[in-house]
Amino acid sequence: MAADTIKIGLVGAGGNTRLRHVPGLNAQDGVEIISVANRSLESSQRAAAEFNIPNAASDWEEVVYDDEVDAISIGTWPYLHAPVTIAALDAGKHVLCEARMAMNSLEAHAMLDTSKANPGQIAQIVPAPHTLSIDATIKDMIGNGYIGELITLNAAIAQGAGYPDSSTPLHWRQDRDLSGNNIMAMGIWYEAMMRWIGPARTVSAVAQTVVNHRTNDDGHRVPMTIPDHVDVLCQMEVGGQMRYSLSNVLGHARGVDIFIHGTEGTIHIASGGDAATGGLQLSAARRGDGELSPVTPAADKIGGWRVEEEFINAIRGIEPVTHTTFYDGVRYMEWTDAVTRSIRTGETVVLPNDGV
């Protein structure tokens, strides 16, 4: 495969596929995008014309079962992630699947099981990109004992939030039939936090649906069943705990405000950084310091988006997938299901959790 042209089929041609995957794949040597299936033949044809893709398909199966296609890039909403992934892997295709991994952890486990049954095929989840630029610095600091032992990670995430407004149109992330148990950007921020401090052991959550109805594309008023404000409390496997608040309905809230407190030091991640750090500010202090001081990541520690390069390199046997494996995806989907289960039942859920 290293010397061969890798031929890609696109299933779904949404925003991230257009913005990142198409240019990212086209930038790799010996890679051709040869087919695309979007939600209709007409939209497939528009995408094919826009990106000079030779084949526009009427449905995703036409792409998956095309013998000329070596790998599938899935850019659909979560409701199709599991069926397309499972079919593609069983058809001998490599798979790059958009986050969020699946509708729920049961689907995620089925995807992982199919991947394990097809060990020759690369299976990768598109990673949470928010913290790629600072992940290595935070992991090194924690790993080298900067904070000592974890006491708590306190995270308040309100990116794009504003005062409640029921006139805003229905988004696919607010439609449980399309998004499943995923809540806003909850799971992908948890994925980033797992990179720093590992997974949670228990989950307890409460939530609100503040905007309780919106208008769909047909002009009908529909009830909202996915919360727009959630608070989660976790005990962590490494020890210590996490308190995580995520909201789309807080006026004048700071977008990102995360403290990692330990027995010997504190790390702070907040909105307001420059492009080099992904728009995030990093600061820290240790026991005895007067106040938090800015932390500038070393140049060789600043990560970035290289999803398509990593995927193609993994297919060619050059490097393994690190961002993000199906095992990582299953972990954040188990945690996502645990949040939903705790919201519904009021109970504390012990992980791993097999679904709601």
pLDDT digits (tens, 9 = 90+) for 160-187: 889 999 998 888 889 999 999 999 999 9
Grade residue 274 by pLDDT with cuts at 50, 70 and 90: confident
- The answer to whether residue 160 is domain-embedded is yes
CA pair distance 189, 135, nearest whole angstrom: 12
Report the share of the chain in percent with pLDDT over 90: 90
Contact yes or no for 52/27 (Cβ under 8 A) = no
- The answer to whether residue 328 is domain-embedded is no
Residue 2 pLDDT: 46
Q: How many structural domains compose the chain?
A: 2
- The answer to whether residue 120 is domain-embedded is yes
- The answer to whether residue 330 is domain-embedded is no
CATH number of the domain within which 274 lies: 3.30.360.10
Is the pLDDT at 343 greater than 80, yes or no?
Answer: yes
CA pair distance 190, 336, nearest whole angstrom: 9
Residue 141 pLDDT: 98
CA pair distance 23, 73, nearest whole angstrom: 13
CATH number of the domain within which 64 lies: 3.40.50.720
Which residues lie below 8 Å from residue 119, measured CB to CB, with a gap of 6+? Answer: none
Residue 169 pLDDT: 87
CA pair distance 126, 191, nearest whole angstrom: 11
For residues 45-72, give the mean pLDDT.
Answer: 97
Grade residue 354 by pLDDT with cuts at 50, 70 and 90: low
* Domain ranges, residue 10: 6-128+306-322
Is the pLDDT at 275 greater than 90, yes or no?
Answer: no
Which residues lie below 8 Å from residue 350, measured CB to CB, with a gap of 6+? Answer: 201, 202
- The answer to whether residue 59 is domain-embedded is yes
Residue 220 pLDDT: 87
For residues 108-122, give the mean pLDDT.
Answer: 98
Is the pLDDT at 329 greater than 80, yes or no?
Answer: yes
- The answer to whether residue 356 is domain-embedded is no
Same domain membership, residue 101 and residue 162:
no
Is the pLDDT at 355 greater than 50, yes or no?
Answer: no
